[in-house]
Amino acid sequence: MENLARDALSLFNVHLMGRQTISLITYERELLEWNQKFNLTAIRDVESIRTKHFLDSFSCVLAWNASPPLRLIDVGTGAGFPGIPLKIIYPNMQLTLVESVGKKAMFCQHIVRVLGLEGVNVIQARAESLGQKHEHRESYDWAVARAVANLNVLSEYLLPLVKVGGTAIAQKGESGPAEAQSAEKAMKVLGGKLKKVIPVNLPGVVDDRYLVLVDKVAATPPQYPRNAGMAAKAPL
For 51-65, write each residue's pLDDT tens digit. Answer: 999 999 999 999 998
Segment 219-230 shows an average pLDDT of: 95
**Average pLDDT, rounded, for the chain:** 95
183 pLDDT above the threshold of 80: yes
Per-residue confidence (pLDDT) for residue 5, from 0 to 100 = 96
Lowest-confidence range among 24-28, 49-53, 154-158? 49-53
Per-residue confidence (pLDDT) for residue 148, from 0 to 100 = 80
Q: Across the strands, what pairs with 215?
A: 167, 193
Q: What is the pLDDT of residues 95-106, one digit of tens each?
A: 999 999 999 999
Phi, psi angles (nearest 5°) of residue 88:
-65, -35
CA neighbor of 165 nearest in space, from 211, 215, 93, 221: 215
84 pLDDT above the threshold of 80: yes
Per-residue confidence (pLDDT) for residue 1, from 0 to 100 = 86
111 pLDDT above the threshold of 80: yes
**Order of all β-strands in the sheet with 71-75:** 120-123, 94-98, 71-75, 140-146, 162-172, 209-216, 192-200
197 pLDDT above the threshold of 90: yes
171 pLDDT above the threshold of 90: yes
Per-residue confidence (pLDDT) for residue 37, from 0 to 100 = 87
Segment 149-158 shows an average pLDDT of: 95
Segment 20-27 shows an average pLDDT of: 97
Per-residue confidence (pLDDT) for residue 41, from 0 to 100 = 81
Superfamily assignment of 2-233 in CATH?
A: Vaccinia Virus protein VP39 (3.40.50.150)
Per-residue confidence (pLDDT) for residue 85, from 0 to 100 = 98
Report d(CA 46, CA 43) in Å as an integer.
Answer: 9
CA 184, chain centre distance (Å)? 20
Segment 107-121 shows an average pLDDT of: 98
Per-residue confidence (pLDDT) for residue 45, from 0 to 100 = 84
Segment 3-22 shows an average pLDDT of: 96
Per-domain residue ranges of the chain: 2-233
